[in-house]
């Protein structure tokens, strides 16, 4: 099984469109004001927005970045505001947190090999 797409709900898809384009995602479907879909800048995963009331989803979306600190610096310079980070976490990921215009939690992170192969992985042989 492979992750294909994550969809988040937000009331203003125009604001979401601007936010996710600024974050670096590339638009592939524009059916605003109801729906929009983007291609992630690396790999072939997609991400979409669906119109709905704020707070309906409680969604957290994780985007991995090879150069987390550089990415966060560039996004701050572009006008995005982060709630925290980048900072090293106890689970061996480096994370930064912000929220999109719909209130969805976005975590930019770098985990490297620890994403799927942490030292405490249960199926080690």
- Condensed to tens digits (0 to 9), the pLDDT of residues 69-80 reads 999 999 999 999
In a domain, 120, yes or no: no
Which residues, other chains included, contact 35 with Cβ-Cβ below 8 Å and sequence gap of 6+? Answer: 13, 29, 48, 49, 50, 51
Percent of the chain with pLDDT over 70: 93
- Report how many domains make up the chain: 1
Residue 56, pLDDT above cutoff 90? no
In a domain, 58, yes or no: yes
Per-residue confidence band for 2, with pLDDT thresholds at 50, 70 and 90: low
Q: Give the mean pLDDT of 80-97.
A: 94
pLDDT on residue 122: 81
In a domain, 109, yes or no: yes
In a domain, 123, yes or no: no
Find the domain containing 85 and state its range.
5-113
In a domain, 68, yes or no: yes
Residue 109: CATH number of its domain:
3.10.180.10
The whole-model pTM stands at 0.81
In a domain, 49, yes or no: yes
The residue ranges of DSSP E strands in 1-125, in sequence order, are: 5-10, 26-31, 35-39, 46-51, 60-64, 84-88, 94-99, 105-110
In a domain, 124, yes or no: no
pLDDT on residue 42: 87
In a domain, 31, yes or no: yes
Per-residue confidence band for 116, with pLDDT thresholds at 50, 70 and 90: confident
pLDDT on residue 74: 96
């Amino acid at each position: 099984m492979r992750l294909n797409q994550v969809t988040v709900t937000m009331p203003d898809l125009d604001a979401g469109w601007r936010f996710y384009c600024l974050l670096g995602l590339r638009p592939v479907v524009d059916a605003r004001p109801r729906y929009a879909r983007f291609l992630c800048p690396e790999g072939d995963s997609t991400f979409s927005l669906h119109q709905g009331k704020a707070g309906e989803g409680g969604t957290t979306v994780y985007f991995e970045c090879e150069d987390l600190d550089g990415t966060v610096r560039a996004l701050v310079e572009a006008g995005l505001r982060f709630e925290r980070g980048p900072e090293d976490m106890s689970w061996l990921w480096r994370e930064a947190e912000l929220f999109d215009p719909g209130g969805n939690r976005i975590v930019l992170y770098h985990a490297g090999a620890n994403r799927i192969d942490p030292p405490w992985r249960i199926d080690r042989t």
